[in-house]
């Protein structure tokens, strides 16, 4: 189909994959093919009433910029019957939150957690090179492809900078700016450091009240300089 005529009528919506703050994601098949996609459908009237049109535009603009193995591919975007639609690749493995619940003890073994965190870091580094600050880092937004690798999703809360930031840590002035800008977010999406994300994979919710084991892990993470370690790796 030509991009100019592509619409929802060309897809069979098979099932709902998830529902977010600005839209609903469906598993869809392109009519007449066996090709599966994830389609994010957003109601423009709803977005206008809730003053969220800018967030939808931000996500679309960022998706159009991306070319990275751990970030989504945007195949097409169109408006159909006042619905804005983003056609992206689908991830049959679900998200890390669901996958974690299936593990013994409901948390990933250390090697698996390191693997996922490393791939997330590579995705974040690429985004930072583009001048994008990702502000919604949580297991629910990390999808798993059929080959086991990850895909970071949901960019409507992200910030675009005029200057590309370096990999952020708590001592960076840009980190303070990002935290201040994100303080208005209602869903607590301030987690942009690896040390915030890793405990959620290996020890559940990341709540400090979860027990002695989690407190020990947090103490070790605070003592370790993760940024320095990654900078020491060969380029």
Report, as residue numbers or ranges, the catalytic residues. 136
Are 66 and 72 in contact by the 8 Å Cβ rule? The answer is yes
> 3-class DSSP state for residue 7?
coil
Tokens for 91, please give them: 């991830």
Give the Å distances, CA to CA, from 30 to 14, 73, 81, 112, 228: 11, 16, 18, 34, 46
What would the DSSP string read from start to end of 14-53?
EEEEEE-SS-EEEEEEETTS--EEEEEEEEHHHHHHTT-H
């Amino acid at each position: 189909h030509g991009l100019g005529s592509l619409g929802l009528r060309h897809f069979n919506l098979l099932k709902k994959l998830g529902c977010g703050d600005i839209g609903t994601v469906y598993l869809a098949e392109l009519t007449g093919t066996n090709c599966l996609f994830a389609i994010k459908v957003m109601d423009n009237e709803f977005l206008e009433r809730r003053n969220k049109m800018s967030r939808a535009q931000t996500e679309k603009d960022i998706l159009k910029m991306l070319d990275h193995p751990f970030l989504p591919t945007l195949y097409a975007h169109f408006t159909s019957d006042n619905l804005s639609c983003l056609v992206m690749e689908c991830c049959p493995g679900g998200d890390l939150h669901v996958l974690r619940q299936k593990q013994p003890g409901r948390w990933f073994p250390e090697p698996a957690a390191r693997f996922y965190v490393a791939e997330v870091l590579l995705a974040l580094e690429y985004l930072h090179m583009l001048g994008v600050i990702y502000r919604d880092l949580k297991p629910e937004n990390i999808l798993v492809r059929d080959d086991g690798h990850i895909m970071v999703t949901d960019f409507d809360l992200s910030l675009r900078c005029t200057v590309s930031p370096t990999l952020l840590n708590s001592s960076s002035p840009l980190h303070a700016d990002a935290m201040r800008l994100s303080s208005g977010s209602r869903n607590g999406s301030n987690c942009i450091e690896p040390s915030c994300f890793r405990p959620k994979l290996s020890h559940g919710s990341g709540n400090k009240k979860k027990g002695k084991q989690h407190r020990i892990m947090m103490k070790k993470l605070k003592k370790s300089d993760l940024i320095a370690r990654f900078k020491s790796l060969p380029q």
